[in-house]
Structure 1
Amino acid sequence: MRNLLTASVLFLSFSIAAVAHAAVENTAVQARMDAMKAIGGAMKTLGNMAKGSVDFDATAAEAAVDVVAVQSAMLPTLFEAQETDPMSEAKPEIWTNWDDFVAKANAMTAAAEAVSIVDAGSIGAAMEAIGGSCKGCHSEYRM
């Protein structure tokens, strides 16, 4: 059941992202943006639960964490080739500091895989661990 829910969340995330980035011409850049959008959507799900704007749902929270883990694990492959597009927010430093970029992507994956959401109170710690890795990469590699 959990795999089905994770797959559904991924599909929905990619569907929404595809509409949001319709102006992107480069398919490799589009795939990167879709992955980032899926991670952002998962973090929004967790954030809404943490704020109490939606009820805590352990299955949905774990599915959101799974989305982050799966998508972040794909980032080194998605960014391997230096592709460009006017809509891209990727800085060229990704490729000049490749090992650091990969380490930061791997740190996000490890953070997502390490969290355990057992109740609403554990969402904050999960978001802090994952969010710190997001910020670490975005501050250096995103325009």
Structure 2
Amino acid sequence: MKIIKPIMAGAFIALATAAIAHTGVKDPNVKARMDGMSAIGQAVKTIGTMMKGETAFDGAAVDAALAEIENRAARIPERFEENVITPKSEARPTIWESTDDFNEKALTLETLAATRQGTVSGPDDLRPLMGEIGATCKSCHSEYRD
């Protein structure tokens, strides 16, 4: 799938800049959102490095990463209850204008991660999984993230 490379590149760039972007964030709501999204990004990176052959396949690590994504995705709606945007925030105001859609996208990611745990039996399963995760993340980021 040609969509995998841009999604992976975007995830790695986001992870690389997250530490810089998070410095100086004082609002606890924004900080919690950023930390949660970074944790999701790190879990995706764990799976992505296996998919690219940079690390050996480890089914338990894939399941742990999916469990982390599930847990963090479940908390996305509560992290965005407060309409707070700071200069370092990447959230768009449309989140609070389309709360139901935003929350549905978070639920989609949570459900995907939950249902895929225990289904990845080898390296050949990683590319389709990353395609699903990437498409789900992109559906939200394209509308709700700067």
Smaller-chain TM-score bracket: 0.7 to 0.9
- Give the letter aligned to residue 103 of structure 1: E
Give the Cα separation in 1 of the matches to 2:124 and 2:135.
18
Describe the shift of the 1:57–1:18 C-alpha distance in structure 2 as closer, same or farther (beyond 3 A): same
Greater length-normalized contact order (CA 8 Å, ≥ 6 residues apart):
2
Q: 1:22 deviation in Å? A: 2.3
For 1:38 and 1:106, locate their aligned partners in 2 and report how far apart those are by CA, in whole Å: 17
The equivalent residue for 1:96 is 97
User: How big is the alpha-carbon RMSD for the aligned residues of Structure 1 and Structure 2?
Assistant: 1.4
Corresponding residue of 1:135: 138
1:5-84 maps to which residues of 2 (within 5 A)?
21-84=22-85
Equivalent pairs, count:
127
Where do 5+ consecutive residues of structure 1 fail to align? 1-16
TM-score when normalising by structure 1: 0.84
Following the alignment from structure 1 to structure 2, what is the Cα–Cα distance between the partners of residues 20 and 58?
A: 32
Q: Which moved more, 1:121-130 or 1:57-66?
A: 121-130
Task: Give the 4+ runs in structure 1 shifted more than 4 A.
Answer: 17-20
Rounded to whole Å, the distance in 1 between the matches of 2:40 and 2:109 is 10
Q: Paired residue for 1:123, among 105, 123, 126?
A: 126
Q: Using the TM superposition, give the Cα deviation of residue 122 of structure 1 relative to its aligned residue in structure 2, in angstroms.
A: 1.1
Residue 42 of structure 1 contacts residue 65 of structure 1 at CA under 8 Å; is this kept in 2? yes
- For the residues of structure 2 that align with 1:20 and 1:83, how far apart are their CA atoms? 16
- Give the conservation status (yes or no) of the 8 Å contact 2:21–2:88: no
Percent of paired sites with the same residue: 43
